Amino acid sequence: MTELLELVGGVLLGAGAVVVVFGGVLILRMPTFYSRVHAASVNETLAPLLILLGLACFADGRFDVLVRLGLILMFLLLTSPMSSHALAKAAYRGGLPTGQYREQQRREREGRGHSEPSEEPDA
Amino acid sequence: MTLDVLAVVLMLFLLVTAWGVLRLRDLFSAAMLLGMFSLVSAALFTIFDAVDVAFTEASVGAGISTILMLATLGLTTERETSCPAWRPVPLLAVLVTGGLLIYGTLDMPSFGDPQSPVHTYLGARYLEEEPKEIGVPNVVTAVLASYRGYDTLGEATVVFAAAIGVLLLLSDRREERDRSSARALKDHLARDDARHAPAMKNRILRVSARPMIPSILLFGLYVQFHGDYGPGGGFQAGVIMAAGVVLFALVFGLERTRRTFSANLLEAMIALGVLLYGSVGVWSMLAGGNFLDYDVLLHDPKHGQHLGIVLVELGVGITVTAVMIALFLLFAARGLDDAKGDLHLENGAS
> Does the global pTM surpass 0.90?
no
Task: Provide the pLDDT for residue A117.
Answer: 45
Q: Of B319, B143, B274, which Cα lies nearest the Cα of B282?
A: B274
This complex has an ipTM of 0.73
Task: Provide the pLDDT for residue B174.
Answer: 55
For residue B115, the one-letter residue type is: Q
* Residue B54, C-beta contacts closer than 8 angstroms, at least 6 positions apart: B42, B43, B44, B45, B46, B231
DSSP E strand stretches across chain B: none
Give the nearest partner residue to A89 out of B202, B209, B211, using CB atoms: B202
CA distance B216 to B135: 29
Nearest-Cα distance to chain B for A78, in Å, is 7
Task: Provide the pLDDT for residue A10.
Answer: 93
More confidently predicted of B347 and A12: A12
Nearest-Cα distance to chain B for A81, in Å, is 10
Indicate yes or no: CB of B208 within 8 angstroms of CB of A89.
Answer: no
Task: Provide the pLDDT for residue A54.
Answer: 93
Size of the A and B interface in Cβ pairs below 8 Å: 20
Q: What is the DSSP letter of B26?
A: B
CA distance B236 to B320: 9
CA distance B269 to B308: 19
Within 10 angstroms of residue B116's Cβ, the number of other Cβ atoms is 14
Task: Using pLDDT thresholds of 50, 70 and 90, give the confidence band for residue A120.
Answer: very low
A 38-77 near B (Cβ less than 8 A): 75
Task: Provide the pLDDT for residue B191.
Answer: 63
CA distance B144 to B227: 11
Residues of B in contact with A85 (CB under 8 A): 204-205
Task: Provide the pLDDT for residue A121.
Answer: 45
Indicate yes or no: CB of A82 within 8 angstroms of CB of B198.
Answer: no
Q: Distance between terminal CA atoms of chain A?
A: 54
* Residue B118, C-beta contacts closer than 8 angstroms, at least 6 positions apart: B109
CA distance B270 to B263: 11
Give the nearest partner residue to A78 out of B198, B199, B212, using CB atoms: B212
Task: Provide the pLDDT for residue A102.
Answer: 66
**pLDDT digit of tens for each residue in chain B (350 aa)?**
788 899 999 999 999 999 999 888 888 889 999 999 999 999 999 998 889 999 999 999 898 999 888 888 877 777 777 766 778 898 999 999 999 999 998 888 887 788 887 778 888 888 888 888 888 888 888 888 888 899 999 999 999 999 999 888 887 665 555 555 556 666 666 665 555 555 556 788 888 888 899 999 999 999 999 888 888 888 999 999 999 999 998 888 888 888 888 888 999 999 999 999 999 999 999 988 888 888 888 888 888 899 999 999 999 999 999 999 999 988 887 766 544 444 444 444 33
Q: Of B36, B58, B68, which Cα lies nearest the Cα of B240?
A: B58
CA distance B257 to B248: 7
Residues of A in contact with B212 (CB under 8 A): 75, 78-79
B 150-209 near A (Cβ less than 8 A): 198-199, 202, 204-205, 208-209
pLDDT in tens, A26-75: 998 888 888 888 888 888 889 999 999 999 998 887 888 999 999 999 98
> What is the phi/psi pair of residue B28, to 5°?
-60, -50
Give the nearest partner residue to B205 out of A75, A82, A93, using CB atoms: A82
